[in-house]
Chain A
Amino acid sequence: MGIVDFFRARRNRRDSASVAKERLQIIVSHERAEQGGPDYLPMLRQELLEVVRRYVTVDPDAVRVDVERDDSHEVLELNITLPEQQEEV
């Protein structure tokens, strides 16, 4: 293995742990938001996604549903990320 390959290989390999970390941060925050909330959240999310998709093409993770709680009430927070260029379907 030449010296250039050596450094390239090192750099590429460094990536795999950081990719893992990034993916984990995203999925874990997703699952935390759904957990502890009402059981219908995943289904609500899925149906909202279908509705949105009648109008725009979005990724499966474009719809986020979070429940925020404080002492007196719960807030259902919906986040829908639209693509850069909003194409009509």
Chain B
Amino acid sequence: MSRIVVITSGKGGVGKTTTAASLASGLARAGFKVAVVDFDVGLRNLDLVMGCERRVVFDFVNVINGDARLNQALIKDKRLGNLSILPASQTRDKEALTEEGVEQVINDLRDQFDYIICDSPAGIERGSHLAAYHADDAIVVTNPEVSSVRDSDRVLGLLASRTRRAERGDAPVQEYLLLTRYDPQRVKRGDMLSVEDVQEILAVSLLGVIPESDVVLNASNAGVPVVLEENTDAGQAYDDAVARYLGDERPHRFLQTERKGLLGRMFGGS
């Protein structure tokens, strides 16, 4: 049985696509057959983050409209043989993804893959609804910041009421919190919500904390999912999150600042 995982957030720009690329690559590296699907119609970006933008020929909407077969549109990852990418369409027509079309594609993907990762667009409208509808698991990507936390809470409510599982009365979607762009130094100074604060408010199980890191931008510049940058903080934090998703218990890292003495704190700049 394959599992459908939606990466969602409500608020835009919090790190969904970064996370989708890294989760997909991490699961593929662990030996699973993985497809990662870009649901952001009109704002295709997963291809860039995965480094396959020049190999896009057909897209999600082409498949739905019958202009291409699914296997013509799927792009095989160059680094990991068991990973494929289904790019979003760049059409400006937001209605291009239909409910029936999405369902058909998801069902066809189930035949070939262990995990289907759905990269949701921002917002709580049609696009994000379609991305979340078939989910078994949801990773809610949140930044430690008021509007992101509030939007995540809204999204959690929708996952509990508007998904296929909810409508059928099946077991609820398994929800996980992934806190990204975390800056322990600012938390320590008291001007950023701490991981404990966010967990207390959202009350969902914590998959991981990804530190704010230049590495993420560099990796996306290069078209390499950051989880593959093994000697970096963000790369290792994503690797831990993937392992936890697969059931490993790993301690959370990168939550503390390096300890400085009092003088260091007074003169260390902030």
Q: Judge whether B190 and A10 touch: CB under 8 Å.
A: yes
Query: Cβ of A16 < 8 Å from any Cβ of B?
Result: yes
Q: Is A6 an interface residue (CB 8 A)?
A: yes
B226 lies within 8 A of chain A by Cβ? no
Chain B 232-270 per-residue mask, 1 if CB under 8 angstroms from chain A, else 0? 000000000000000000000000000000000010000
Interface residues on chain B, size class: 20 to 34
Q: Which residues of B lie under 8 Å from residue A35 when comparing CB positions?
A: 154, 157, 161
Chain A stretch 1-47: residues in CB contact (< 8 A) with chain B: 1, 3, 6, 10, 13-18, 20-21, 23-25, 27-28, 31-32, 35-36
Chain A's closest residue to B146 (CB) is: A20
Q: Quick check: A6 and B157 within 8 Å, CB to CB?
A: no
| Residue among A6, A10, A23, A28 making CB contact with B153, cutoff 8 Å | A28
Contacts of A23 in B (CB 8 A): 146
Q: Chain A: which residue is nearest B161 at the CB level?
A: A36
Do A15 and B190 touch across chains, with their CB atoms under 8 A apart? yes
Whether A17 touches B266, Cβ cut-off 8 Å, given contacts A24-B150, A35-B157, is no
The answer to whether B189 and A13 touch across the interface, beta carbons within 8 angstroms, is yes
B93 near A: Cβ within 8 Å? no
Contact size range, A: 20 to 34
Using known A-B contacts A6-B266, A35-B157, A36-B161, determine if residue A17 contacts B187 with beta carbons closer than 8 Å.
Answer: yes
A31 to B147, CA, bound (A): 13
Chain B residue nearest to A20 in the complex (CB)? B146
B157, B191, B201: the one contacting A17 at CB < 8 Å is B191
Question: Given A6-B266, A21-B197, A32-B157, A27 and B150 touching (CB < 8 A)?
Answer: yes
State the majority secondary structure of interface residues on B.
helix
**Interface pair A21/B161, CB less than 8 Å apart:** no
Could you give, for residues 82-93 of chain B, a 1 whenever the CB lies within 8 Å of some chain A CB and a 0 otherwise?
Answer: 000000000000
A24-B190 contact, Cβ under 8 Å, with A31-B154, A35-B157, A36-B157: no
Check B149 for interface membership: any CB of A closer than 8 A: yes
CB-CB < 8 A to A14: which residues of B? 189-190
- How many angstroms from the CA of A23 to the CA of B201 in the assembled complex? 11
| Chain B residue at minimal CB-CB distance from A25 | B201
Which of B146, B157, B191, B266 makes the CB contact (< 8 A) with A24?
A: B146
A24 vs B154: C-alpha distance in the bound complex, in angstroms? 12
A31 CB, nearest partner CB in chain B, Å: 7
User: Across the interface, which residues of A come within 8 angstroms of B145, CB to CB?
Assistant: 20
User: Which residue on chain B has the smallest CB distance to residue A6?
Assistant: B266
CA of A17 to CA of B201, assembled, Å: 13
Q: Which residues of B contact A (CB under 8 A)?
A: 145-146, 149-150, 153-154, 157, 160-161, 187, 189-194, 197, 200-201, 266
Residues of A whose CB lies within 8 Å of any CB of B are 1, 3, 6, 10, 13-18, 20-21, 23-25, 27-28, 31-32, 35-36
- 5 pairs from A and B in contact (CB 8 Å cutoff): A3-B266, A24-B193, A24-B201, A28-B201, A32-B153
